[in-house]
Amino acid sequence: MTADTPLPALRRVVTGHDENGIAAVRSDDRIDAKVLPAFPTARAASIWLTDATPTNDNNSGVDGATRQPDGDLGAVMHNGTVFRYTDLGPGATAAMHRTSSLDYNILIHGRLVLQMEDGSETTFDTPGDVVVQRGTIHAWRNPGPEWTRWVSVLIDAHPAVVGGRTMGTEFRS
């Protein structure tokens, strides 16, 4: 169990190379979710962050989860990527927000509702359902009755531009 969520800590296996170039498992551990300051109803944990794209992580000794996001809302890594999971309790909502990133979201457990700025809602209830988020204002809601978990890859991106207007970072509480 992580924080106050009944979902188990996520198992993370990281591969790498030894000094002879032989591929091997470098670590096998569990990562606990923590409260996100901007989204107190959610719990999340970074699985891996890179500090550049293309990355030089392929044989680095640095544990990518020890890096801290330095971009929008403390969720995005400037010029890099963030791989994380988020848990959201029954009935909870993560507030409307936008980051300058391209996000791949994959439902792992439970049900999740994507709320968009236009008022539309899309429900995801099959593990493996995906959302590709492209710099849009959105919120997440768990309709219950159990905790929900999804995995996300956030890739730093230039802000979306619509009609000559830059759609920058935004948070609506």
Q: Is the pLDDT of residue 85 over 90?
A: yes
pLDDT of amino acid 17:
63
- 3-class DSSP state for residue 36? strand
CB 76 within 8 A of CB 69: yes
> Residue 123: how many CA atoms within 13 Å on its side-chain side?
6
Q: What average pLDDT score do residues 59-64 get?
A: 82
Q: Is the pLDDT of residue 133 over 90?
A: no
Beta bridge partners of 160: 167
Cα–Cα distance between 156 and 169 in angstroms, integer?
12
CB 118 within 8 A of CB 93: no
All structural domains of the chain, each given as residue ranges with its CATH number in brackets, are 31-172 (2.60.120.10)
Would the pTM of this model clear 0.85, i.e. be above it? no
Q: Is the pLDDT of residue 160 over 70?
A: yes
pLDDT digits (tens, 9 = 90+) for 17-61: 677 777 777 888 888 888 888 788 888 888 888 888 888 777 778
pLDDT of amino acid 18:
75
CA torsion angle for 101, 81, 95, 134 (degrees, to 10)?
A: 30
